[in-house]
Structure formats: structure tokens, C-alpha cells
Structure 1
Amino acid sequence: MTTQPAEPRTRDREQTAQRLLASSAKLSFDPAKDVDWQSPPVPGRYYAPAHHLSLYGTDLWERLDEDQRIELSKHEVASIAAVGIWFEEILMQMLLRHAFDRDPTTAHVQYALTEIADECRHSVMFARMISWMGVPAYGPNRLAHNLGRIFKATSTHSQTFGGTMYVEEILDAFQREVMNDETLQPLTRQVSRIHVIEESRHISYAREELLRGHIGPVRRRWEQLFVGLIVYFATVSLINPRLYAAVGIAPEAGRRAARANPHWRATKVRLASKVIGVLDRAGLVGRTNRWLLRAAGVLA
């Protein structure tokens, strides 16, 4: 059995990793200590901005009273957090594969290992938040879950860092609004703040690594297709239709209403706009996958 040769220590890659390692040493969190898990929910406060909810503006939304709308916000935040755990578990395994055949004395590999440690803490933090809410860990459906099982074992460089960029950026955009909204539940704001600060380093690492890569025109079509599938399944998994039952809405009726909801689609387009631009710069948006991005609701 042979191993791949170690990559050279390119100056820009090492400079990026050294900067991120220094930032990690200076500003990292322990969610077990830095989140007030003993605090109860504040009555009357949403868990996410109302205009971010999948049914906002629909006829179904108009039929809900204020308590039901707040309950819907709680379940939707829990669903997004469970999908975050699912993808972070995939990402940790992809990063281990990325580091496996590379020189562990490089700052680049050491930052990959540092990011894995961050993601472990984030997954525990999201799980504790779901438990604190007292709601199910919805997660993706069985098909998406099992496709993730394949993806984490076979992803290429472009798929690893393109997929990472997409999921982390769309969550980052959502959580920046949560952490800055003083009308929301304090605990969801605490969790969002920790995740945003630490994920900013992960996004920088993935973005610069993605843009360093070069793929030829034939390979690019293949990579575009797989990145399109990642975007599609990650996006449609954010809101598990089962959660609508918590506010008395049949899951299938809720799914149809959310899918047709122009407010929800506009929210997804806005949250994804920055990362779609980065993927485009990397050559990972094109005819091969635009139909998947539209089906996911992230392209106008």
C-alpha cells in the first residue's frame, strides 16, 4: 500500500493557516462554559426572525396565533441546527481525509485538525441547544443522510471545500442576523455568536483553499454537478416537514406552502448570494448545475 506524496509548503497556504491558528489561540470558546444552559426560554420571544421562517407571509402563517408562530420558530431553528450537526460530522471526516496524506508539520494540516476540534464543540453545542428547546433533532431525510455517508468518503478537493463553503456561509448569514437581533431568545443569540466567530475562520480556510484549485473544462462539469447536488440536498434539508405538525399543520401541506412561498425563496437567495458568487469564481457554477441551484431555491 502506498501513500500520496506530501504537498509542498506553499507560502500563501502556510500564511493563511498560521494566521488562522493565531486567531484560534486568541479567540475560541467552550460552549459548556460560555453558554448559559441553565437559563429558561424568555416568554414571548422568537428563536429566529419571523421573516426568516419558511411559512412567513403564507395563508398558513396568517392562521397561526402568536404562540404558534413562536413555536414554529423554535422547531425551525432546531431543524437547521440538526442539519448543521449532520454536515459538521461529514465535514470532520472530509477534513481528516484531507489531512491524512499531508505533512502534519505544516500549519495547513494543523489548522485542519484545529477546525475538526472546533466542529466537535459546535456539534455538541447544537445538540445541547436542541435538548434545551425540548424538541426533536429532526435532521435530513433518509436519502440525504445516506448520500452524506457516500459523500464524506468519496468527495474530491473541490467538492470538499465547495460543499463546506456553501453550508458554512448560508448558516453564517442566517446566524449573523440572529445574534444581532436583541428581540430574540438570548440563548439562540449566544449560540449563534459563538458559531459565527469561529466559523469565520473555517470559511476563510475553505474559501482560499477552494480558489487555489484548478480544474479543467471536462472535470469542471463533473464537479459542478456534485456541488449542485450538495447545495440542493443541504438546502432542502434545512426545514424538515415533520416539524409543521408541532403547530397543527399537516407536514405535506406545510412543505407545499413553504416550497411555493416567495418570501422563503427570497430569504434563501439572499442568504446564499455571497457563497454562490464564490462558487462561481471557482468555476463551480454553470449549465451543469444551475437547474439544481434553482430547484434548491437559491438562484432567482
Structure 2
Amino acid sequence: MTTATPDLSDRFRELLDRLSHKSVEDYYNPYQTFDWADELPEDDWWMSPDLLSVHGSALHDGLDEATLKRLSKWESINFYSLNVHGIRELIIEVVDRIHTPGFEIPSDFFHHFIGEENEHMWFFSEFCRRYGDKIYTGAALKSAPTEKRAPEVENFLVFARILFFEEMVDFYNTRMAQDTTLHETIRQVNRIHHQDESRHIAFGRELVSHLHQRMKAAVDEAELREVEAYLKRYIVFSLHSFYNPHVYRDAGIADPLAMREALIEDEGRKAVQRKVIRKPMAFFLKSGIFSDDSLPD
């Protein structure tokens, strides 16, 4: 696949130099950094209560604290599992583009990005296996096999998805890193991930903006509207991945599928979800990627 080099601004070049330097200066060895607890208490919170998938819903008050704490354990494992699967997919996409036409300038930073994301995938999977003895399986929203997109569109969508995923995850990381009611092991995992992701998000926003401008010059208005619709479907898909019936089953919920369906339809949950995605939605609107803030049901 051959594409022309995006028209990268001097500001972007300066940002890449600064972020690459910070990646070197802030480098840590994850295999030596983490002080893994032998176990995490089963009767403690494993995730901030306001991040649970039942928070703000009509179902929340029907669950006692013991059930909510069990739920927090398995929703914690689900959250880190989602990170494992999401990181694997984004690494594949970035590796496929590193040192290829169109990505000559950001490729140096891609090396830092790939290395850091690989290490993130390791410590998230380590958490899941140590404390949950499992990594939940995950699904991905893929293009239909017969769908053929212009390279400019595919490149934009890849990095727009990566950016949204990172910003959504960072909302959770930031909250749990600051939550003193959580075990220090949980706080450390979220704190370290947030520190790295702040660089990745700054990079992603700039790259997505450039790729969006290049895509706009290559396709018509109808294609741009389809790109917007696809990204909005991806956002909804990503939010719904937090409603995992396997999590509810492991937490002892009687009818996991019914609970998932009820939570997806719950108006209170929709309001909470908007808070989770406030920053990436604001970016997509300000950048002209989205024409409005509506999302599909």
C-alpha cells in the first residue's frame, strides 16, 4: 500500500521530538517496577465504585455491597482484559505502517509507542492471570471482508480508533490511580499506564488531525459521512464491551444476559457513558471529524 506523506507541520515534528525524548527519559523496566501483591483481598474494592457498569443505573440499588465488591473484582479483570486485546490490535496496525510511505516522520516515535504498548499488554495480562486466573476473550469491530476503502480512509480510521480507545481507557486509569480506597497494586498499574498514555494521546490527536485533513482531500462528502457513522458505531461498541455477561456470571448475577441488556438500555448508564467519552467526543467535534454529538442506539 503506497500513500503520499501527510503534510506534517513543524509543530508536529517538534511534538514528536519532545515525546520521543520524554519516552527515553521516563523509561522504566516493567519487569522490575511492579511490586505485585501476593493476593488482593476479596472483600475490598478492585475498581472504583463509580466506574462499575451498574453505577448510575436502576439496577444498582438492588445489589448489596458484597455483590458490588465481587462485581468490582471481575469488572477489573474485564477492564484489563479489554486493554490486552485492544493493545494487541493497535500494535498490529502500527507495525503494519512503521517505515512505510506516508509514515516516514512518525516512525521514530512508533518505535517508542510499540515498545511501551507491548509492555502495557504484559502488565495488564499479568494482573489478569495473577489475580483472576483468566483473561476474558474480546471481540473487535472489523470492516466487512468485502469492504474496500481508500488508503487515506483506512489509515485515518486506524489511528482514530486507537486514539478513542486510549482516551476512553485513560478516563478509568486516571480515576483509579487517584482512588485511595483501592489496593496500591491496582493504583500502580493504572498510574503507570496513565503516565505513558498521556504521551500517546498527545501524539494521537496530532496524527489523527493530519490524517483527517489528508482524507478530506481524497474522498467525497458521502464517504466522510460514512467514516463518521463508522466511528460512532465503534464508540458504542467499545462502551458496550464493559457490559460483559461473563463478568456478571462470575460475580454471581442470576441472569447475566438480561442484566447486560438492561444496562445497555438504561438511561442513567447512557448519561454516565457520556462522561467517560467527553474528551474524545469534544476532540472529534472540534476537529470537524464529527458533525454532531449524536450516537447510534
Instruction: Report the TM-score when normalising by structure 2.
Output: 0.85
Aligned partner of 1:281 among 281, 286, 291: 286
Matches of 1:135 and 1:73 in 2, distance apart?
A: 15
Q: Which has the higher helix share?
A: 1
Deviation at 1:69, TM superposition (A): 1.3
Q: Which AA in structure 2 matches 1:67? A: A
In structure 1, the residue matched to 2:89 is 90
Give me the identity figure in percent.
Answer: 21
Deviation at 1:121, TM superposition (A): 0.6
Q: Which moved more, 1:76-85 or 1:199-208?
A: 76-85
In structure 2, the residue matched to 1:127 is 125
Aligned partner of 2:188 among 167, 187, 190: 190
1:226 and 2:220 aligned: no
Cα pair 2:52 2:72 within 8 Å, conserved: yes
After TM superposition, list the pairs within 5 Å mapping 1:1-16 onto structure 2: 3-4=2-3, 10-16=9-15
Residues 4-23 of structure 1 deviation map (CA, whole Å, 9 limit, x = unaligned): 55567742222111010011
Cα pair 2:177 2:188 within 8 Å, conserved: yes
In structure 1, the residue matched to 2:248 is 244
Aligned partner of 2:265 among 260, 268, 275: 260
Cα pair 1:46 1:73 within 8 Å, conserved: yes
After TM superposition, list the pairs within 5 Å mapping 1:30-41 onto structure 2: 30-41=29-40
In structure 2, the residue matched to 1:145 is 140
In structure 2, the residue matched to 1:23 is 22
1:80 and 2:75 aligned: no
Residues 263/130 of structure 1: CA separation in 2 closer, same or farther (3 Å cut) = farther
Deviation at 1:187, TM superposition (A): 1.3
For residue 291 of structure 2, give the secondary structure of its aligned residue in structure 1: coil
In structure 2, the residue matched to 1:290 is 294
Cα pair 2:94 2:110 within 8 Å, conserved: yes
Residues 225/261 of structure 1: CA separation in 2 closer, same or farther (3 Å cut) = closer
Deviation at 1:224, TM superposition (A): 0.8
Cα pair 1:165 1:203 within 8 Å, conserved: yes
Cα pair 1:49 1:184 within 8 Å, conserved: yes
Residues 272/8 of structure 1: CA separation in 2 closer, same or farther (3 Å cut) = closer
1:170 and 2:168 aligned: yes
Cα pair 1:162 1:279 within 8 Å, conserved: no
Corresponding pairs, count? 286
Cα pair 1:161 1:206 within 8 Å, conserved: yes
In structure 1, the residue matched to 2:156 is 158
Residues 140-178 of structure 1 deviation map (CA, whole Å, 9 limit, x = unaligned): 3xxx43728979x98723212211121111110111010
Q: Which AA in structure 1 matches 2:31? A: A
Residues 96-155 of structure 1 deviation map (CA, whole Å, 9 limit, x = unaligned): 23324148874x211012101111111111111111222532233xxx43728979x987
For residue 238 of structure 1, give the secondary structure of its aligned residue in structure 2: coil
Residues 57-110 of structure 1 deviation map (CA, whole Å, 9 limit, x = unaligned): 55644343333211101111211211112111111122123324148874x211
Q: Which moved more, 1:258-267 or 1:86-95?
A: 258-267
Matches of 1:115 and 1:260 in 2, distance apart?
A: 37
Deviation at 1:179, TM superposition (A): 0.4
For residue 147 of structure 1, give the secondary structure of its aligned residue in structure 2: coil
Deviation at 1:264, TM superposition (A): 2.8
Cα pair 1:139 1:237 within 8 Å, conserved: no
In structure 2, the residue matched to 1:298 is none
Cα pair 1:79 1:239 within 8 Å, conserved: no
In structure 2, the residue matched to 1:270 is 275
Deviation at 1:206, TM superposition (A): 0.6
Q: Which runs of 5+ in 2 are unaligned?
A: none
Residues 265/99 of structure 1: CA separation in 2 closer, same or farther (3 Å cut) = same
Q: Which AA in structure 2 matches 1:182? A: T
